[in-house]
Structure 1
Amino acid sequence: MTSATSRHSGRRVSPVFLGIVAVMVVTGWAVWTDFSASAGLAVFLFVTSAWIVSLCLHEYAHARTALHSGDISVGAKGYLTLNPLAYTHALLSIVLPVLFVIMGGIGLPGGAVFIERERIRGRWRHSLISAAGPLTNVLFAVVCTAPFWLDALDGVPDLVRFALAFLALLQVTAALLNFLPVPGLDGYGVIEPWLSYKIRRQVEPFAPYGLIAVFALLFIPEVNGAFFDGVDAILRSLGVADLDADCGREYYRFWQGENEFCAAVRDDG
């Protein structure tokens, strides 16, 4: 009985996660109704809480796929509760991604659930576990952009449109970066099971530095420009105009003051 109770508690949704969802809902309502005295603060709180929710779902997808692939230890580790505080490296999975959004408006890939890979048999299962996280970001981006590509924006406040566009931008950047076949990122985890043992051993020492190398490359103007051109192209294919994402970013950074052009667009809307 104790064992069954323990397994159940290890999969019960955490109050911490429910609290974050509550913040997302309340601030989403504030953005929709323009209830807050500061539109930018409402956008900031809504996008940040929604971004944390997506990070939790990203890690949950890894853990849930691992559970069904043979690693039953993920339940005892608390990974199935959606509690961000249960991750092996909360700094990597929550704190740094949020800081990067605040500082640069880019979706930083997380990486903090420890999967006991030796419990899992089959290369396809290993690949699917790695792919599950960024696929969650893809799904989140599709949901955020649904009003755009479904042409269902009639009656939707401009501020909501801006916030959803910026949130979608974060999801697209996170998915693209995570799918890069770079050691330490999920993209490499997808292909790693198919590589020879010799290659895996040679690459293994570089895994802790893969993400650092990617962001170092993004500081190169030409690489940064090409990357965000690709992000913008994906968003446009989903019906999101550059203006919407740019204004979403401007309102998110409310401490810089309201952007006059975006405010004029919002007033005209």
Structure 2
Amino acid sequence: MTTASIRRDRQVSPVFLGLVAIMAVTGWAVWAQYSASTGFAIFLFVVSGWIVSLCLHEYAHARTALHGGDITVGAKGYLTLNPLKYTHAALSILLPVIFVILGGIGLPGGAVFIERGRIQGRLKHSLISAAGPLVNLVFALALMLPFTFGLLDGAPLAFHAALAFLALLQVTAAILNLVPVPGLDGYGVIEPWLSYGIRRQLEPFAPFGLIAVFGLLWVPSVNVQFFDAIHAIMRAFHVDDYYSSLGYSWFRFWDGSPFGS
């Protein structure tokens, strides 16, 4: 592969840059209360920010795989941050956005295909799986630390709400992805350390793990306990439940909530 080809394989996609631009412009609109509909501006800000985080999540998997020995990830376009290059664009982008709309839950879908046979060593395999949730964790910290250090004092309420809701999505994504269920990254972390027989028995369940976890969160008692834990984590960073709940209400501007305009 030529140097020029390598550069193209790793050049940041205009699609990703466009998403970042949308996030920046709508974030400014929320801050300046420029939009006639605050809810719609928050919706665009959160969705674009969520997709940006999905791209970074999958990039982390691919980049770690590259350093682990899978040199094919570049040719597949995984290092360009272009969501349209993912193996299942609908599963990777559309489904997670639907999860957010339906339940305010951040749960990335499966995306990049790593040629695991090129990677030697169980630790490398575990690190590749862990890389994605770690990005969500860093993203969450970046969104919550302004609350922690009082950097948002004087900021509009709508901006507090939008930032808090996007932070909640990142926290839920990091935690849920680390659940050791086949199909999720948490299982990918421990899978290399399991016996061959156990891996063979669990392999058929991988396509259903994501849906099973989302379905379980619809059980009222599980949902309450889960979000209690999420809010407890966020409160430790001085992100009040009120802000994230308000952000979700504004996000669902089509519900006719008084906060939707």
- The two structures have a TM-score, normalised by structure 1, of 0.94
- Counterpart of 1:163, as a letter, is A
1:13 aligns to 2:12 (yes or no): yes
Matches within 5 A, 1:256-267: 256-259=255-258
Please report how far the alpha carbon of residue 257 of structure 1 lies from its aligned counterpart in structure 2 after TM superposition.
2.5
Give the structure 2 partner of residue 218 of structure 1.
217
Q: Tell me if structure 1 keeps the 8 A contact 2:143–2:163.
A: yes
Show the counterpart of 1:267: none
Pairwise mapping of residues 78-93 of structure 1 onto structure 2 (< 5 A)? 78-93=77-92
Aligned to 1:77: 76
Residue by residue over 1:125-167, the C-alpha shift from the partner in whole angstroms, topping out at 9 and shown as x without a partner, is: 1100000001111111000111111122222221111000000
Identity of aligned residues (%): 68
- 2:205 and 2:123 mapped to 1: Cα distance? 23
CA distance in 2: counterparts of 1:91 and 1:150, whole angstroms: 38
Amino acid at match of 1:40: G
Partner of 1:266: none
- Superposed, 1:2-41 pairs within 5 Å as 3-41=2-40
* Alignment-mate amino acid for residue 172 of structure 2: T
Give the partner amino acid of 1:185: L
Root mean square deviation of aligned Cα: 1.3
Local SS of the residue matching 1:76: coil
d(CA) in 2 for partners of 1:159, 1:66: 39
8 Å Cα contact 2:107-2:173 kept in structure 1? yes
Report the CA distance between 1:202 and its aligned residue: 1.2
> Is the 8 Å Cα contact of residues 109 and 177 (structure 1) preserved in structure 2?
no
Aligned-partner Cα distance in 2 for 1:233–1:109 = 22
In structure 1, C-alpha distance between the alignment counterparts of 2:211 and 2:152, rounded to whole Å? 39
CA–CA distance in 2 between the matches of 1:162 and 1:220?
26
Q: 2:60 corresponds to which residue?
A: 61
Offset at residue 258 of structure 1 (A): 3.9
Match of residue 236 from structure 1: 235
Q: State the secondary structure of the residue aligned to 1:73.
A: coil
Provide the rounded CA distance (Å) in 1 between the counterparts of 2:246 and 2:215. Answer: 26
Letter in 1 for 2:218: F
Structure 2 gaps of 5+ residues are: none
* TM-score for the superposition, normalised by structure 2: 0.97
Query: Corresponding residue for 1:184?
Result: 183
| Secondary structure, aligned partner of 1:184 | coil
**CA deviations over 1:140-197 (Å, ceiling 9, x no partner):** 1000111111122222221111000000111111111100000010000000111111
2:170 paired with 1:171: yes
Q: Which runs of 5+ in 1 are unaligned?
A: 264-269
1:57 is displaced (CA, Å) by 0.3
Which stretch shifts more, 162-171 or 216-225?
Answer: 216-225
SS of the residue aligned with 1:75? coil
* In structure 2, C-alpha distance between the alignment counterparts of 1:101 and 1:206, rounded to whole Å: 24
CA distance in 1, matches of 2:200, 2:34: 56
Structure 2 residue aligned with 1:206: 205
Equivalents in 2 of 1:137, 1:94: separation in Å?
A: 15
Kept in 2: contact 1:127–1:189 (CA 8 A): yes
Indicate the residue corresponding to 2:110 in structure 1. Answer: 111
Letter in 2 for 1:50: G
| Preserved contact between residue 57 and residue 136 of structure 1 (Cα < 8 Å) | yes
